[in-house]
Structure 1
Amino acid sequence: MTSTVLVTGATGTVGSALLDALTDRDATVRAATRSPPGTGPADEWVAFDFEKPETWGDALAGVDALFVMRPPQLSRVGPVRAFVDAAGRVGVDRCVVLSVLGADRNPLLPHRRIERHVAASPLRWTFLRPSFFTQNLVEVHGDALARGEIPVPAGDGRTSFVDARDVAAVAAVALTEPGHAGVAYDLTGPEALTYDEVAAVASDVLGSPVAYTDPSLPRFVVRELRRGRPLGFTLVMSGIYTTARLGLAGRVTGAVERVLGRPPRDVRAFFEDYGDERTASRRLHGE
């Protein structure tokens, strides 16, 4: 029987990849976002906002499985928890939560507070705890990368970069196949690299020099704020890179391969795909 899957954050890094991953599965895919584009790899688009309960009814109608992603700009977890409660009341069966690596060891993280609330709900849950997305090198720091820089304050710490497309593929399995209820998956790439090593890979694949500049934390914060980044987002990034600097971001797991039956993409594969997309875009625009 075809199920209905609701994807929150459907235009985000993982959400958009999840829509693609669900394309060939026996499911009606409902994409939820604050400003629906109306077109894309989904059967239905719906306007949705965690902070506007009046949008929840249409989003949850007839839903069997739910993908929950807390928007980075949402400082409070209360609206997400209330939405989870609403999902339970209308009979949603399963819930896949996008969390973060290490959430189980840090009760102060909003991701962990959401996890605990979902675990206490009637929903059959699966928690996805990914490491740092490889896509952030382009989506967050793309301007700097175009200048040949990776300007993050991570020292010589290693990071087990994971491709968001692999996280989305795991989410698609957990949303549509049995055997994943009550499981938390720590999702990483196949290796942990320093940012110097990432810069070397990017230089080799993209064919132009990329340097890891390793600014001090205060310099990084000032630079990001001057570029117009919100303070909250800048502080979150600072915490992530400090974790790497302290040597706490390098753990590698085999969860992606166990779920998907194939190894996760590495950083080189990501930059190869990114380079192909960039070349195709330049050709399209006559550059």
Structure 2
Amino acid sequence: MKVLVTGASGNVGKYVVRELLQMGEHVVAAGTNIEKLNLLFGGDVEKVILDFQDLKTYQQALHDVDRLFLMRPPHLGKADDLFPFIDAMKQHDIQFVSFLSLMGIERNTIPPHHKIEKYIESVGIPYGHIRPGFFMQNISGIHAAEIKEKKQIFIPAGKSKTSFIDAEDIALSVATILHDPGKYENTAHTITGSESLDYYQIADILTKVTGSKITYAKPGFLRYRNYYLKKRRLNKSYVNVTVALYFMTRLCTAKHITTDFTKLTGKQPCTFEDFSRKHIKCFK
């Protein structure tokens, strides 16, 4: 049977596809842009159109699939945006789903991930939730613009610390449980890096790696939200979700370090310095 990877062109999904292929799995890469999927994967995987807001795309995406990696697209800010697809997963007798959730979500009902986890469990699909800390790719991706243009980290996290995790490490964790679902049925795994850093420390690391002085602006929530809505012109629902996440970060919910990644994979997680050297083009 096949493994469907939703969000296959995204930060985590593309690496999940790669790891599953290396494990010998038959992979179906799903997304809203077939050309982008073709550029990423060529003829190594099947490609299908999947739009969570278009029920007509569900049938083909779920055909002959028995396992699935589920990721909430950033622009869908409401949990129930994914409920129709989860219902379709149940109707198609999906045997196992790995949902990309959030660290600490079992105690945090604000982000949509909490309700999505609960809904998957309520419909009775065997699951293996992956609850990562903040992606290192958030800094090299959405927040890299200010680092490159202003030499600033523009994130409203205050003085809080975060146990950042590389998306490649998250993907390896996801692929591991999808490859052996019987071993991990109805489990949840909190995946973090091996160090907990505040954004002053992140700025120091980026200064060291890039050779340019990088500072942490430490904006307030209102300033951050207005900037990302009015200057960056990002989706309102997406920005509101990030505000909620950084609010929780300030409550010290993102600083904890776990060994779940090593227990799953037998490997050590990537450090932020190693990550920033590997992705230096994102910061210069």
Same fold (TM over 0.5): yes
- Residue 5 of structure 2: aligned partner: 7
Residue type at the aligned position of 1:115? E
- Compute the displacement of 1:115 (Å): 0.9
CA displacement, residues 118-157 of structure 1 (integer Å, 9 cap, x when unaligned): 1123422100111111100011111111132101121111
- 28-37 or 239-248, which moves further after superposition? 239-248
Q: Deviations over 1:200-228 (max 9, x none)?
A: 11111122211111122222122112221
Match of 1:44 among 43, 46, 59: 46
**Is 2:184 the counterpart of 1:186?**
no
Q: 1:85 to 1:134 in 2, by over 3 A?
A: same
1:137 counterpart letter in structure 2:
I
CA RMSD between the two structures = 1.8
Partner of 1:206: 210
Looking at structure 1, the residues matched to 138 and 62 of structure 2 have their Cα atoms a distance apart, in angstroms, of 30
| Cα distance, 1:76 vs structure 2 | 3.2
Q: Distance in 1 between matches of 2:82 and 2:130?
A: 16
Q: Distance in 1 between matches of 2:223 and 2:163?
A: 25
**2:261 corresponds to 1:256:** yes
The aligned length equals: 277
* Superposed counterparts of 1:159-170, under 5 Å: 159-170=162-173
Pick aligned residue for 2:225 from 221, 224, 228: 221
CA distance in 2: counterparts of 1:242 and 1:109, whole angstroms:
11
Q: 1:108 Cα shift?
A: 4.0
Deviations 1:229-257 (A, max 9, x none): 22222222222222223322211111111
Range that drifts further, 90-99 or 238-247: 238-247
Equivalent of residue 23 in structure 1, options 21, 24, 36: 21
Residue equivalent to 1:89: 91
1:278 Cα deviation (Å)? Answer: 5.6
Distance 1:90 1:221 in 2: 40
CA distance in 2, matches of 1:278, 1:238: 23
- Cα distance in structure 2, aligned partners of 1:238 and 1:112: 16
CA distance in 2, matches of 1:187, 1:200: 24
- Corresponding residue for residue 272 of structure 2: 267
Aligned to 1:109: 111
Contact 2:111 2:241 in 1 (8 A): no
Instruction: Give, as a single letter, the amino acid of the residue that structure 2 aligns with 1:265.
Output: C
1:174 alignment partner, one of 167, 173, 177 = 177
- What is the percent sequence identity of the aligned residues? 30
1:256 alignment partner, SS class: helix
3-state SS in 1 of match to 2:240: helix
Report which stretch shifted further, 186-195 or 111-120. Answer: 111-120
TM-score normalised by length of structure 2: 0.92
The answer for the alignment partner of 1:285 in structure 2 is none
Bigger Cα displacement from structure 2, 69-78 vs 148-157: 69-78
**Aligned with 2:22: secondary structure?**
coil
**Structure 1 Cα separation of the partners of residues 11 and 31 of structure 2:** 13
SS of equivalent to 1:72:
coil
Shift of the alpha carbon at 1:187? 1.1
So what's the TM-score if we normalise by structure 1?
0.91
- Kept in 1, the 8 Å contact 2:111–2:244? The answer is no
Q: Kindly indicate whether residue 145 of structure 2 is the aligned counterpart of residue 143 of structure 1.
A: yes
Task: Extract unaligned runs of 5+ from structure 1.
Answer: 283-287
Larger mean Cα displacement after TM superposition, 80-89 or 259-268: 80-89
| Cα 1:141/1:278, change in 2 over 3 Å | closer
Q: Mind listing any 5+ residue stretches in structure 2 that lack a counterpart? A: none
Moved segments of 4+, more than 6 Å = none
Q: Distance in 2 between matches of 1:234 and 1:84?
A: 25
Output aligned runs, 1:276-287, within 5 Å.
none
**What amino acid sits opposite 1:160 in the alignment?**
S
- The equivalent of 1:157 in structure 2 is 160
Q: Is the 2:34–2:49 contact (alpha carbons within 8 Å) kept by the matching residues of 1?
A: yes
